[in-house]
Amino acid sequence: MVRVAIFISGGGSNMVALLDDMARSGHAGIPCVVLANSEDAGGLAHASARGVPTVVVDHRPFAGDRAAFEAAITAALDPFAPDMICLAGFMRKLTAEFADQWAGRMINIHPSLLPKYKGLNTHARALEAGDHVHGCSVHEVTAALDDGPILGQAVVEVRQDDTPETLAARVLVQEHILYPAVLRRFAAGDRSLLILPS
């Protein structure tokens, strides 16, 4: 079995989708810990309710020292011996050193069809550009922001009356399908590109 650590910052809806899929039969992954950077992260309660251990490494005492923050994360992870990390709404930028340490073993979901719209405000940017399609991508995490090899994508049609909020809501539905599907394959050693039917 592949031991999976999941990092969150908030409510953790993608985390819930991952945990629920790992609880189904035939999955090579098993959740070993959910780590949050704030004790207020709503997803912690969801993880605990599913019997998954949780830890909090608050980023605030490490203001300006990301290396020390990541050292604390590493120390918190050590007892759980994860084989890989899934970022699921973890809103802290990780250093190149941390990304390199987990190279090939850390994945993330991003709300755009990468390589388009790396970073924030992806839905508003897609609308401003007049895009007809938008979506989400799962990718391996590298030192460069939202730049690792793409493992899966799901496409969402952009409607004429869309707002960033309505578009985000439809993309999120696809995130909850795509991320578990990619993790299931990734944990089993399959890194081929998965494109969900639109």
Q: How far apart are CA 149 and CA 146, in angstroms?
A: 9
Tokens representing residue 161 in the block: 């009356």
Alpha carbon distances (Å) from 150 to 54, 66, 178: 28, 26, 12
The total of other beta-carbon atoms located within 10 Å of residue 69's CB is 22
Q: Cis (ω within 30 of 0) for the bond into 115?
A: yes
Q: What is the pLDDT of residue 140?
A: 98
pLDDT at 198: 76
Strands 84-87 and 54-56: unpaired
Candidate CATH numbers 3.40.50.170, 3.30.499.10, 3.90.650.10, 3.10.20.30; the one for domain 1-102: 3.40.50.170
Beta bridge partner(s), residue 150: 139
**CATH for 109-198?**
3.40.50.170
Please report, as a single letter, which amino acid is at residue 97: E
- For residue 55, list its beta bridge partners: 35
Identify the pLDDT of residue 197. Answer: 85
**DSSP classification of residue 92:** S
So what's the pLDDT on residue 22? Answer: 98
Catalytic residue among 110, 134, 139, 176: 110
Q: What is the pLDDT of residues 91-107, one digit of tens each?
A: 998 999 999 999 999 99
Q: Which amino acid is at 25?
A: S
- Both tokens of 67, joined, read 């290396």
- Is the pTM higher than 0.95? The answer reads yes
What angle is formed at CA 175 by the lines to CA 105 and CA 108, rounded to 5 degrees?
Answer: 20
Outline which parts of the chain fall under CATH 3.40.50.170: 1-102, 109-198
Check residue 191 and give left, alpha or beta (phi > 0: left; psi -120 to 50: alpha). Answer: alpha
- Would residue 176 show up in a list of annotated catalytic residues for this protein? no
Low-confidence residues in the chain, pLDDT < 50: none
For residues 193 and 31, the answer to whether their CB atoms sit within 8 Å is no
Contact 32, 80 (CB under 8 A): yes
150-157 and 133-140 beta bridge pairing = antiparallel
CA distances from 100 to 1, 51, 92, 93, 197 (A): 23, 30, 16, 14, 32
